[in-house]
Each structure stands twice: as C-alpha cells, then as structure tokens.
Structure 1
Amino acid sequence: MSPPCSFPSVSPASSSSSDPSQITQIQQQQNGHTLAGTLPTVDEIRAAVPKECFEKSLARSLFYLALDLTIIAVLYAVVPFVESKFGLFGLFIWYCVLGMYLSSLFCIGHDCGHGTFSNWEWVNDVFGHVAHAVIMVPYWPWQKSHRQHHQFTSHLDKDKGHPWVLEEHYENGGWLQRNFSKIPLSGLIRWNPIYTIAGLPDGSHFWPFSRLFSNNTERIKCAFSASLCVLSSWAIFVLLSHSPWAFFKYYYVPLMFQGYWMIIITYLQHQDEQIEVYEENSWAFVKGQLQTYDREYGLGIDHALHHITDGHVAHHFFFTRIPHYHLPEATRCIRKVLDKYPGTYKRKSNYDFLFQFLRMNIMLDCLVGRGSGLLKYRSTVRREERREKAE
C-alpha cells in the first residue's frame, strides 16, 4: 500500500500479468557495473520458508488487535496529564507516538485485507473494518487498491498507490506538482485526504463512483466501508461532547500524524536511489517484488509496527499467506536464498528514517528511460554517468 509522493501519474496499461514462477532476467547493479543474472523462482523462495510460517492463528491475531487498542486507549487516558505537564511539546510527542500506534492498528487491518488475520474471510472482513473504520480507512476499497500494488509491484503503469512520475510529466507540471512532496509538512495530508478521499492517484476510496471501482458490487462495498468510517468519526465526535475543537485536536490531528507515519513507511518500502521500475515488456513478478526494501527502524518501532518495516520483502512474496508475526522468521529464510543472487535482497538500517524520507523526496524527483523497458530515477542516472566519465 503506498500513497502518492507527488500529483502526476501515468496512464494505465493493459491488465495482463506474468507468471510469477518463471525465471526472469535482470540487469543487476553491483559495484556500479551492470551484470546479467538470473532470479530465483517463487517456488524456490517458497521452499526455503518453513510451513509453520504459513499458519494463521485467529487467537494470536486477536491478541495483537487487543494489544494495539489497549495501548491506544492508554495513550488517550494519559493525554490530559501530558498536556498539563508538558504543554505543546508534550502534545507533539503524544501525537507522534499515537500516530505510530494508529499505524500499528492499520497493520492489523492490513493483515485482514490480505487474508492473513485468520482462515475465514468473513472474520477477516469484520475485524478489518473494526481496525480501519476508526482511522478513516475504507476497508474494502483500500483492499482493492492495495492488492493491485502487490500484484504489479514496480510496474510503471499498474502499480497502484505508486504514482511513478516520468520526466516529461515532471518538467511540464506546475510548481506545486513539482515541489509538493518536497515540502516536509505535506506528509500530514498526503495519506488523508489526498490519497484516500481526493483519490490521487488511484481514485477516491470514499466515493463509490470513483475510477477505482468498475462494477456495482465494488461500489456497494465502497459505500458500506465509507459509511462505517463516517459513523465511527461521528461516534468519536459525540464522545468528545460535540466539540469541534476537541474533535480536531484529539482525533483529526492524530490521524494526520498517523498518515505521516503511513507515508514514511510506504515510501521507504519502495523508494531508493537504486530502485528500478519496469515497463510491461520487461516486468515480471519476481523482478518487481525485489524492488522492495526491508528497513530497520530500531527503538522497538519495527515490533510496534508488526514488522511491516523490516519484513516487507517476505510480505511481498507471500502477502496472502504469511501473517505479520511470522515475517521475521520468513525473512531470515528468504534472505538465505536471495543472498545467492547478489544485489537482489535490499535491506538498510533506518534509524534516520525521517531524514531519509525528506532527503529522497527532494532527490528522487522523476524517472527517466521510458521506452527502454527499465526506468531509474534521474538523479541516479546522472550520478552513474558522472562515475563512468570519471573512470
């Protein structure tokens, strides 16, 4: 799931997919030189993962849901003390911590959307709505757009949630289009309302007649999920004594911080100087999934966010089969396979995640290379050209 980093988007292509089990060819980057190589198959990667990692436990999933809700409740219980003793600074820290745990709650709904919360679809849908409605995320619409992201990761035209910006679109755009994502505070609104409500780039997740939906069943599901979000926010407004100021201060602002966390997390999962994006004729399932980064945030953040940060490669390969609590073990096993193919497994320590997010939003402005089958960020290509000249 990955919200927009800028306004421009590319036109959708056909919906055909490639066989994920095939051996694909890539141009691997190693020590600054292009090397031809082969990739493992999905079957080879799957064989390395113990069968226990594919087992779903409803009891365990409910425990993590209850844990997140309890922590959120405790944070709300202590906010009067925090605000009275530490003022605006304390409230800011509270927003940051609460935003992270609201993102943790999102990750539980994320498991539901993938079918890894339990073995029963109706159970997944019920608890998915429970987890997502209170944070203003329409469950079924998000499930659809996010599934398309997983099916076509790093595909130029089909990777939903990732508005890959081409050089010609970037240069022809206005000042706001070129620079909006470079503004640090833009992260507070890029998830909600820009991505989920306004629908840039995929279509509104709240409006049944947006371009995200193609039939009446999907539109009815959208109306249902969106209605639950509205009802949840109204219930919170009532609990806050019908006070618009309290609603804004203790509900909407935390959602803005939760959105900032979501933008940072999803951006860093699939953005880096070395990321490659593929056109239809060169894209393949394994190749696309390997344009995913595992990032270690440290300080307990990876655990709090249910390993969606440091176990994202494993999640991308088996997004409908491995629950979040099995991701660490699955990651260790998958890494043993990918280490045989130099340059395929991408992992970074990410203690400076906010700085890296802000830096890359400035540096990684647009993609170049359309028509070649493989696109890279313009800044990366220029750096490689300078290095080649120096050699």
Structure 2
Amino acid sequence: MACRLAHSTFLFLGPQKRPTEGNRIFPQSSTSTGTYLLKWDALPQRRSKHHFVSFEKRKIVKAVAVPVAPSSADNVEHRQKLSQDYGFRQIGEPLPDNVTLRDIIDTLPKKVFEIDDVKAWKSVLISVTSYALGIFMISKSPWYLLPLAWAWTGTAITGFFVIGHDCAHKSFSRNKLVEDIVGTLAFMPLIYPYEPWRFKHDRHHAKTNMLEEDTAWLPVNKEEFDSSPALRKAIIFGYGPFRPWMSIAHWLIWHFDLKKFRPNEVNRVKISLAAVSAFMAIGWPLIIYKAGIVGWIKFWLMPWLGYHFWMSTFTMVHHTAPHIPFKSSDEWNSAQAQLNGTVHCDYPSWIEILCHDINVHIPHHISPRIPSYNLRAAHQSLQESWGKYMNEATWNWRLMKTILTVCHVYNKEQNYVAFDELAPEDSQPIQFLKKIMPDYA
C-alpha cells in the first residue's frame, strides 16, 4: 500500500530544514519509493530575534522520506516475494492517489468500446453450440466420464452468464430491448433472475472493494464471526472448503427478496422472477418427464453446480488476495479499487473461449461498457500505460490455497486474518485444506 507520510521524519540531503506539516511533497517519479522533491520557497519564513530570514532564490532540494510505519508493499523486492508466496505473476505497485478513473479510461483506444453485432452473436453461437455438445456428451457418456461432461457443460453455461452480463452492462447490442430480452433468456437456464442481478451487480462496480458496500465478496466481519459458535462454524466452512460454491448462498440471499430493491426497481424484478419461475415450472417437469429425476440431476443440476463453481471461483479470484484491501467509504479510491484491486487471471484456453474472456477482468472494471470480445485489446492497452500497477496471475493451486486458507476475517492493518489464527479450535476445515491442497504455482 502507499506509504503514509503524515507525521514522518525527513532526512534532508542538503541544508537541514524541517518542513511544517501540510507542505506539499511531490514524488520525483512514479517508481520512487522514498525520494521526494520539495519546493524550497514553499517553506515558511523563519523569524530570528532581530530580523526575518527569507530565501531569495527558488531551488529544489532532495529529501528522503522515512515513514514511521514503512509500507513494505512499496518495495519491489517485497512485492516479488509476495507474488511468489501468493501465486501471482505480478503484484502491482500502489497507484498514486492523484490518478483518477477518468485518467485511466482516457488512455484506452476508442475502438475497445465499440459494439460489434457480429462478434456479439458469435459469442451466442459459441455458447449454444458448446452447451448442446455438452448435453450430447452427458447423454452418451458412461458413468465414469460423466464428470468430464459435466465440467464441459457447466463451463459452457457459464458462457450464457457472461452474455447476460454484457447485456446488463449495455455492451452487447445497440438495441437496449434486445439486450434485456437476450439477458433474460441467457439467465433463465441458470435460474438467475436477470434484473435483480443487474441492480446488485451495478452496485458491485460502483463500490468495488468498499467495506460493507460491495455486493460481491466481502471479508468476514469479526463481530459476526464472534457472535455465536454455530455461526462461526458455518462461516468457516462457507469461506473455506465450500467457498467454490458459495455463490449459491449469494444467489439465494440477494436476488429473490423484493424488499432488497428500490420501489422503482420492483416491477422489473418481478418480470425476471416470473421468467425463471416459468423455466422451473415448464423446463424442469419436461426434463423429469423425459429422463426422470436422475436425468434432472444429470442434465441440469450437475452442470448448474459446475456453473456455480466458476461463478464463485472467478469472483473470488478477481478481487481477493492478502494484499488487496477493502476500505471504508471515507478512505476508498475508485481508481485504486478498480485497477489495483482487481486481478487478471489466465485460465486454460478452452475455459477462456467458453467463458468469453470474463477473466480478462481489469479492463472490465475500468469500464463495464467494454464488450467481452474487446477485453483483450483493452488489457493490452492498459498494460502499456499502467502495467506496473496491475495484479496478474495464471491460475494455480497456490493462488487458490492462499484465498481459501488466508483471506478470511477483515482487519484494517493486515487486510485479512485467517480463521485458524482467531479460532484454531474451530478451524479444522482450514487446517485440512492446508494439508491436502497442492502448493505449486
């Protein structure tokens, strides 16, 4: 994190003068970790007993900042060590406080914001075709190959979600009615109500990594963790071994309760709830009629659980790491949250294709209006202009192990405290994960 200079001690390489608190300090460069330039004529005049001493000439003096609580995250070698420990390729250096989100957006080429109907409908064709292939594989596979068929089909319907995701961000079509129809239809097989998800997801983008306000993943609140032994155990399981499916709980809690929405949103929410209810009322009985309860489990439930694995995993990888802070609203900075607080993660090519590059996630948080098929071009542009500030990884076991066994209870100084540090007697699930999960990056 950016080092705090208030109440720091300064060692000057030149005349020994002490600036008063409040004088502006200008970083010598964006990569400098401790050297600053001060405008000497900005220092106050000093009165002696007999006369004023003033400085007639402007000159630049070099200063070395020695903060009271040095932030080792500003150190290149330390970030490299953290990258290795956490399973990252790169942990980005802190973004300067004076950089705004608009500054970053303005560096992107205009073409990455352009909607291309051919590419948009090509993504629909990819998802429909891959899903149909998955259903065929399930119908023909012997029992021992079913997990592979389910993995493929669950990944394919994750592509449906990404298409609806583009529609919700108004980056699928120039026709907004078409977007609402396609988004609703894409979400229906997932039993995901489109409009409720859209309203909550917009808040995630507006409040990314804002403590108490983000509607995606949040660290566990310590008061809640300590509130009851039963709840504590449930939280430990939920944020530990069950975390790759915790989006199911999020889906149930956030999207079906009308009381969670503003009055002007309720009618649209009801339409989406009617759509998914129709799928359950018509689609499920048809599946059961044709293939029985076992067929419903094979053709719908297992791929749906595969989808939620990706939904949970993608979301937590995008914004969860020991070095990525959640901040209160008075400390939160939009540019830092979207660029420094979002993770780019490379997955195997077949996953990237079926999921329409949703894991090229940093440009999506810089501007949700970038269509999924333009995310790679936008990412390349961001690397050229802002690459040193970006968090990047290739999916690996160490990355997942870090998230599942470390990123638990919120702590302002440390970002996270692991469950087994706070309650070792209840944290057997976390200790179990530490033992069985591979640690290679």
Q: TM-score range by the shorter chain?
A: 0.7 to 0.9
**Partner of residue 332, structure 1:** 380
Higher relative contact order (CA 8 A, sep 6+): 1
Instruction: Name which one, 1 or 2, has greater alpha-carbon Rg.
Output: 2
Residues 335 and 176 (structure 1), Cα distance of their counterparts in 2 relative to 1, 3 Å cut? same
Structure 1 residues without counterparts, runs of 5 or longer? 1-25, 383-391
Please state whether the residue corresponding to 1:184 is helix, strand or coil: coil
2:234 matches 1:177: yes
**Residue from 70, 78, 82 that aligns with 2:129:** 70
Please state whether the residue corresponding to 2:250 is helix, strand or coil: helix
2:146 matches 1:100: no
2:212 matches 1:157: yes
**Partner of residue 29, structure 1:** 74
Q: 1:179 Cα deviation (Å)? A: 1.1
Structure 1 distance, partners of 2:375, 2:355, is 12
2:265 matches 1:218: yes
Please state whether the residue corresponding to 2:278 is helix, strand or coil: helix
Q: Is the 8 A contact 1:103 1:261 kept in 2?
A: yes
Structure 2 distance, partners of 1:169, 1:52, is 46
CA RMSD of aligned residues (A): 2.5
Please state whether the residue corresponding to 1:278 is helix, strand or coil: coil
Q: Is the 8 A contact 1:166 1:367 kept in 2?
A: yes
**Partner of residue 54, structure 1:** 113
**Residue from 315, 329, 349 that aligns with 1:266:** 315
Q: Is the 8 A contact 1:149 1:159 kept in 2?
A: yes
Structure 2 distance, partners of 1:183, 1:274, is 19
**Partner of residue 355, structure 2:** 305
**Partner of residue 146, structure 2:** 91
Q: Is the 8 A contact 1:100 1:261 kept in 2?
A: yes
Give the TM-score of the pair, scaled to structure 2. 0.70
Q: 1:233 Cα deviation (Å)? A: 2.8
Residues 270 and 173 (structure 1), Cα distance of their counterparts in 2 relative to 1, 3 Å cut? farther
Q: Is the 8 A contact 2:321 2:402 kept in 1?
A: no
2:344 matches 1:294: yes
> Which contiguous aligned blocks of 4+ residues in structure 1 show a shift greater than 6 angstroms?
33-36
**Residue from 281, 306, 316 that aligns with 1:257:** 306
2:410 matches 1:367: yes
Please state whether the residue corresponding to 1:75 is helix, strand or coil: helix
**For 1:243-267, what per-residue CA distance to the aligned partner results, in whole angstroms no more than 9, with x for missing partners?**
3332233212211121111100111
One-letter amino acid of the counterpart of residue 145, structure 1: K
Structure 2 distance, partners of 1:323, 1:35, is 27
**Partner of residue 240, structure 1:** 287
**For 1:192-216, what per-residue CA distance to the aligned partner results, in whole angstroms no more than 9, with x for missing partners?**
3x1112x0xxx3x12323x2x121x
Structure 2 distance, partners of 1:150, 1:314, is 12
Structure 2 distance, partners of 1:300, 1:77, is 18
Please state whether the residue corresponding to 2:348 is helix, strand or coil: coil
Structure 2 residues without counterparts, runs of 5 or longer? 1-32, 34-70, 80-92, 422-441
Q: Is the 8 A contact 2:284 2:296 kept in 1?
A: yes
**Partner of residue 357, structure 1:** 400
**Partner of residue 393, structure 2:** 348
One-letter amino acid of the counterpart of residue 178, structure 1: I
Q: 1:80 Cα deviation (Å)? A: 2.3
Structure 2 distance, partners of 1:377, 1:170, is 13
Q: Is the 8 A contact 1:95 1:253 kept in 2?
A: yes
Structure 2 distance, partners of 1:162, 1:367, is 12
**Residue from 305, 309, 324 that aligns with 1:275:** 324
**Partner of residue 3, structure 1:** none
Q: 1:359 Cα deviation (Å)? A: 4.3
Q: Percent identity?
A: 20
**Partner of residue 20, structure 1:** none
Residues 81 and 35 (structure 1), Cα distance of their counterparts in 2 relative to 1, 3 Å cut? closer
Q: Is the 8 A contact 1:170 1:177 kept in 2?
A: no
Structure 1 distance, partners of 2:319, 2:174, is 29
**Partner of residue 141, structure 2:** 82
Structure 1 distance, partners of 2:182, 2:78, is 47
Residues 166 and 185 (structure 1), Cα distance of their counterparts in 2 relative to 1, 3 Å cut? closer
Structure 2 distance, partners of 1:252, 1:52, is 40
Structure 1 distance, partners of 2:129, 2:400, is 30
Structure 1 distance, partners of 2:272, 2:401, is 32
Q: Is the 8 A contact 1:207 1:223 kept in 2?
A: no
Q: Is the 8 A contact 2:321 2:403 kept in 1?
A: yes
One-letter amino acid of the counterpart of residue 59, structure 1: V
Structure 2 distance, partners of 1:173, 1:308, is 38
Structure 2 distance, partners of 1:315, 1:169, is 32
Q: Is the 8 A contact 2:134 2:150 kept in 1?
A: no
Structure 1 distance, partners of 2:352, 2:198, is 23
Please state whether the residue corresponding to 1:273 is helix, strand or coil: coil
Give the TM-score of the pair, scaled to structure 1. 0.78
Q: Is the 8 A contact 2:247 2:311 kept in 1?
A: yes
One-letter amino acid of the counterpart of residue 258, structure 1: Y
Please state whether the residue corresponding to 1:145 is helix, strand or coil: helix
One-letter amino acid of the counterpart of residue 252, structure 1: L
Please state whether the residue corresponding to 1:134 is helix, strand or coil: helix
Residues 39 and 334 (structure 1), Cα distance of their counterparts in 2 relative to 1, 3 Å cut? farther
Please state whether the residue corresponding to 1:308 is helix, strand or coil: coil
Q: Is the 8 A contact 1:105 1:131 kept in 2?
A: yes
- Range 72-81 or range 32-41, more displaced: 32-41
Structure 2 distance, partners of 1:283, 1:74, is 45
**Partner of residue 136, structure 1:** 191
Q: 1:59 Cα deviation (Å)? A: 2.7
